[in-house]
């Protein structure tokens, strides 16, 4: 049996498993299946951890298979409309990585559903009674999505010219439409658990819950948006790590050049989308507070308060590793040497930013700790760790990372437009204005009340976003028809740069696990917040140390499986390499 058939067979088996699960789910409402038993038990690690691992690994695969098609279809579009065949081949290679990953996603989804039905039958019966129709639609969409993917990938070389190619590209767009719909449906289930409609209480029978109000609940859309962007970030980082591995194991210069370029594109996608992710996170956090202040406070200042210090550290690593990769990459770009002296200053801004962002402030403390601090806050860190300082730090880190991208992009270009000098001064002016606005509101925030201070973060974010949009618009216009200072020497990248890509993928994956714990953990001992209480022996939400161990296990399982899948994919088909060009 060929590898391609093997992949198809695995996918069909996974789909079959999903159908069986769906039938089981539908049947779970019948008394004989669900029964009155509230909880099952799982040996050794317990029910909670078993479901946790299954859900998290499923989510990691799902994020990958939903994120990659988004930029695969964009890359194909660039190939079609820009006439650069490299992007078409790159897109195909992205898509090739998806094929077997789809099967793994379905398999872990089946594991998750089986665990839920056997370990949490009462809770699952509650969910199926409310969401049964959406579960059937979900299964249907999964089929359609899978077969669209098969058509998209296997039809690549058949439909590669003229209108057929546009038709093929449309398949890619459809693949994203189905994938997004699948994501939105699954999000409705988990967000219902966080934010059920206000009129649903412990005494409400699930049969009386209005479907649409449960589906489109308060945190549904913020999660949808946050996950859409996060999936792109995650997909980009996995692709970049794949390229990094292929770069390090390349046997020819052509192969090395191709994977160097692919790694750059993957990293660009990941870091580019990461820049806007905090804004989506801010929207989600705000909606959680709007829905239930107590839930928001539990998340930010309750037992989870230390979690955000770890998150700040991880995001600091992402910014540092992403920028490091870019700075090292500038060594292969003729003309980039004129920007290299600035990198040490950018590094300084990033390090200070990470230190400020990671400073503890409003931490949950017991009486002994309060006495030791001499008050509710640490005498020294209490001043430094406030949100004004943290918002300022993160906005300056975003600006600095954007500047790195800009310098990278400009490195080997020489603008020829008459207003090039004015344009560059304007760009610098925009950077300075944004930095001043961010710093001004950061300092001013110390002199106003908390409720006023919270509003300042909006001005800071808007200043940074406006600068990004304005500078990019100027840059695109300014570099039109620009001269080259020399071709980029793709492939001539020190191996150490590739290890940064591995740090990035591990950190993104770990961060995804951490945020999953935060989102799910804020429900505390409720299956459905203030509607269905978790009365099992596993009801207590564990501390961060235990959570970190589970997250690490999930990360290792995911990365181990994805490495195996990529290796398997490499056995089946070698990508066709297109001679590199010096543009980017």
Contacts (CB under 8 A) with other proteins, residues 56-85:
none
**Which lies closer to other proteins via its Cβ, residue 365 or residue 426?**
365
CA pair distance 283, 223, nearest whole angstrom: 9
CA pair distance 412, 336, nearest whole angstrom: 6
Q: What residues from 445 to 474 belong to the interface with other proteins (CB under 8 A)?
A: 450-451
Determine if 270 is a binding residue for other proteins (CB under 8 A): no
Determine if 503 is a binding residue for other proteins (CB under 8 A): yes
Exactly one of 1, 2, 32, 43 binds other proteins (CB under 8 A); that residue is 32
Determine if 582 is a binding residue for other proteins (CB under 8 A): no
Cα–Cα separations (whole angstroms), residue 308 to 201, 304, 511: 31, 7, 11
User: What is the CB neighbour count within 10 angstroms for residue 317?
Assistant: 18
CA pair distance 93, 6, nearest whole angstrom: 18
Number of residues that bind other proteins (CB under 8 A): 73
**Which lies closer to other proteins via its Cβ, residue 39 or residue 402?**
39
Exactly one of 191, 292, 323, 457 binds other proteins (CB under 8 A); that residue is 292
CB of 536 to other proteins, least distance (A): 10
Please state the three-class secondary structure of 558-572 as a single string: HHHHHHHHHHHHHHH
Determine if 571 is a binding residue for other proteins (CB under 8 A): no
Exactly one of 559, 568, 577, 578 binds other proteins (CB under 8 A); that residue is 559
CA pair distance 374, 369, nearest whole angstrom: 8
Distance of CA 163 to the CA centre of its chain: 34
Q: What residues from 305 to 324 belong to the interface with other proteins (CB under 8 A)?
A: 305-306, 309-310, 313-314
CB of 121 to other proteins, least distance (A): 9
Determine if 341 is a binding residue for other proteins (CB under 8 A): no
| Closest by Cα among 8, 176, 179, 180 to 76 | 176
Of 35-43, 140-148, 169-177, 269-277, which segment contacts other proteins by CB under 8 A? 35-43
CA pair distance 503, 294, nearest whole angstrom: 36
Paired residues of 528 in beta bridges: 532
Residue with tokens 């913020």: 222
**Which lies closer to other proteins via its Cβ, residue 213 or residue 482?**
213
Determine if 208 is a binding residue for other proteins (CB under 8 A): yes
**Which lies closer to other proteins via its Cβ, residue 84 or residue 132?**
132
CA pair distance 325, 267, nearest whole angstrom: 8
Determine if 198 is a binding residue for other proteins (CB under 8 A): no
Characterize 263-294 residue by residue with b for buried, 16 or more Cβ atoms within 10 angstroms of its Cβ, and e for exposed.
bbbbbbbbbbbbbebbbbbbebeebbbebbee
Do 482 and 415 contact (CB within 8 A), yes or no? yes
The conformational region for residue 436 under phi > 0 = left, psi -120 to 50 = alpha, else beta, is alpha
Determine if 354 is a binding residue for other proteins (CB under 8 A): no
CA pair distance 99, 546, nearest whole angstrom: 34
CA pair distance 476, 485, nearest whole angstrom: 17
**Which lies closer to other proteins via its Cβ, residue 125 or residue 190?**
125
| Closest by Cα among 549, 533, 542 to 120 | 533
Determine if 119 is a binding residue for other proteins (CB under 8 A): no
Exactly one of 44, 83, 161, 366 binds other proteins (CB under 8 A); that residue is 366
CA pair distance 103, 72, nearest whole angstrom: 19
Exactly one of 1, 203, 379, 571 binds other proteins (CB under 8 A); that residue is 203
Of 54-62, 189-197, 327-335, 537-545, which segment contacts other proteins by CB under 8 A? 537-545
Exactly one of 205, 344, 447, 579 binds other proteins (CB under 8 A); that residue is 205
CB of 64 to other proteins, least distance (A): 16
Characterize 386-423 residue by residue with b for buried, 16 or more Cβ atoms within 10 angstroms of its Cβ, and e for exposed.
bbbbbbbbbbbbbbbbbbbbbbbbbbbbebeeeeeeeb
Determine if 302 is a binding residue for other proteins (CB under 8 A): yes
Exactly one of 249, 252, 422, 484 binds other proteins (CB under 8 A); that residue is 249
Exactly one of 15, 118, 217, 298 binds other proteins (CB under 8 A); that residue is 298
Determine if 31 is a binding residue for other proteins (CB under 8 A): yes
CB of 205 to other proteins, least distance (A): 4
**Which lies closer to other proteins via its Cβ, residue 22 or residue 363?**
363
Do 65 and 239 contact (CB within 8 A), yes or no? no
Determine if 545 is a binding residue for other proteins (CB under 8 A): yes
Of 28-36, 423-431, 432-440, 466-474, which segment contacts other proteins by CB under 8 A? 28-36
Do 236 and 267 contact (CB within 8 A), yes or no? yes
Exactly one of 245, 402, 490, 558 binds other proteins (CB under 8 A); that residue is 245
Residue with tokens 């230390």: 306
Do 460 and 226 contact (CB within 8 A), yes or no? no
CB of 298 to other proteins, least distance (A): 6
**Which lies closer to other proteins via its Cβ, residue 240 or residue 464?**
240
CA pair distance 85, 160, nearest whole angstrom: 11
The encoded tokens of residue 245 equal 């591995």
Query: Per-residue x/- marks for other proteins, 372-411, CB under 8 A?
Result: ----xx----------------------------------
Q: What residues from 516 to 535 belong to the interface with other proteins (CB under 8 A)?
A: 521, 524-525, 530, 534
Determine if 125 is a binding residue for other proteins (CB under 8 A): yes
Q: What residues from 141 to 170 belong to the interface with other proteins (CB under 8 A)?
A: none
**Which lies closer to other proteins via its Cβ, residue 301 or residue 570?**
301
Do 264 and 329 contact (CB within 8 A), yes or no? yes
Exactly one of 552, 557, 572, 573 binds other proteins (CB under 8 A); that residue is 552
Exactly one of 101, 214, 488, 547 binds other proteins (CB under 8 A); that residue is 547
Paired residues of 413 in beta bridges: 484
Determine if 248 is a binding residue for other proteins (CB under 8 A): yes
**Which lies closer to other proteins via its Cβ, residue 464 or residue 550?**
550
CB of 196 to other proteins, least distance (A): 13
Exactly one of 137, 173, 365, 465 binds other proteins (CB under 8 A); that residue is 365
| Closest by Cα among 147, 184, 148, 168 to 62 | 184
Dihedral sign (CA 283, 284, 288, 289): negative
């Amino acid at each position: 049996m060929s590898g391609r058939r093997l992949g198809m067979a695995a996918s069909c088996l996974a789909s079959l498993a999903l159908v069986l699960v769906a039938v089981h789910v539908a049947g779970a409402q019948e008394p004989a299946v669900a029964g009155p038993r509230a909880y099952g038990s799982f040996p050794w690690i317990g029910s909670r951890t078993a479901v946790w691992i299954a859900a998290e690994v499923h989510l990691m695969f799902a994020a990958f298979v939903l994120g990659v098609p988004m930029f695969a279809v964009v890359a194909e579009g660039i190939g079609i409309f820009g006439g650069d065949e490299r992007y078409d081949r790159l897109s195909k290679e992205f898509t090739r990585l998806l094929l077997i990953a789809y099967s793994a996603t379905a398999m872990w989804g089946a594991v998750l559903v089986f665990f839920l039905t056997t370990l949490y039958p009462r809770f699952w019966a509650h969910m199926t009674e409310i969401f049964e129709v959406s579960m059937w639609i979900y299964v249907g969409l999964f089929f359609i999505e899978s077969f669209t993917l098969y058509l998209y990938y296997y039809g690549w070389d058949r439909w590669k010219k003229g209108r057929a190619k546009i038709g093929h590209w449309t398949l890619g767009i459809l693949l994203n439409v189905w994938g997004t719909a699948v994501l939105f449906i699954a999000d409705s289930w988990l967000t219902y658990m966080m934010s059920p409609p206000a009129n649903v209480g412990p005494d409400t029978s699930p049969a009386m819950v209005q479907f649409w109000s449960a589906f489109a609940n308060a945190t549904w859309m913020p999660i949808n948006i946050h996950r859409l962007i996060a999936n792109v970030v995650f997909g980009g980082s996995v692709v970049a790590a794949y390229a990094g591995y292929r770069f390090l194991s390349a046997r020819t210069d052509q192969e090395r050049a191709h994977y160097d370029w692919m790694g750059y594109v993957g990293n660009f996608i990941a870091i580019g989308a990461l820049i806007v992710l905090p804004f989506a996170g801010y929207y989600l956090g705000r909606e959680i507070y709007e829905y239930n202040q107590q839930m928001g406070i539990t998340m930010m200042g309750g037992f989870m308060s230390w979690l955000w210090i770890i998150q700040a550290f991880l995001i600091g690593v992402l910014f540092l590793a992403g920028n490091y990769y870019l700075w090292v990459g500038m060594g292969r770009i003729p003309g980039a040497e004129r920007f290299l002296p600035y990198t040490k200053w950018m590094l300084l801004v990033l390090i200070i930013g990470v230190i400020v962002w990671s400073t503890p402030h409003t931490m949950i403390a017991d009486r002994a700790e309060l006495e030791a601090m001499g008050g509710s806050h640490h005498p020294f860190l209490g001043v430094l760790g406030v949100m004004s300082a943290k918002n300022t730090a993160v906005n300056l880190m975003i600006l600095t990372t954007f500047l790195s991208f800009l310098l990278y992009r400009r490195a080997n270009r020489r603008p020829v437009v008459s207003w090039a000098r004015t344009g560059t001064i304007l760009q610098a002016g925009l950077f300075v204005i944004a930095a001043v606005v961010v710093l001004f509101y950061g300092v001013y925030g110390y002199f106003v009340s908390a409720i006023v201070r919270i509003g300042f973060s909006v001005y800071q974010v808007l200043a940074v976003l406006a600068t990004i949009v304005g500078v990019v618009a100027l840059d695109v216009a300014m570099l039109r028809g620009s001269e080259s200072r020399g071709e980029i020497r793709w492939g001539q990248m020190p191996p150490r740069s590739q290890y940064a890509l591995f740090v990035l993928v591990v950190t993104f994956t770990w961060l995804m696990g951490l945020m999953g714990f935060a989102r799910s953990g804020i429900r505390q001992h409720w299956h459905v917040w203030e509607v269905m209480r978790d009365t099992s022996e596993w009801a207590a939400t564990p501390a961060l140390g235990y959570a970190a161990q589970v997250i690490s296990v999930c990360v290792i399982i995911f990365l181990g499986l994805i490495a195996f899948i990529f290796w398997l994919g490499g056995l089946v088909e070698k990508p066709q390499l297109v001679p590199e060009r010096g543009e980017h």
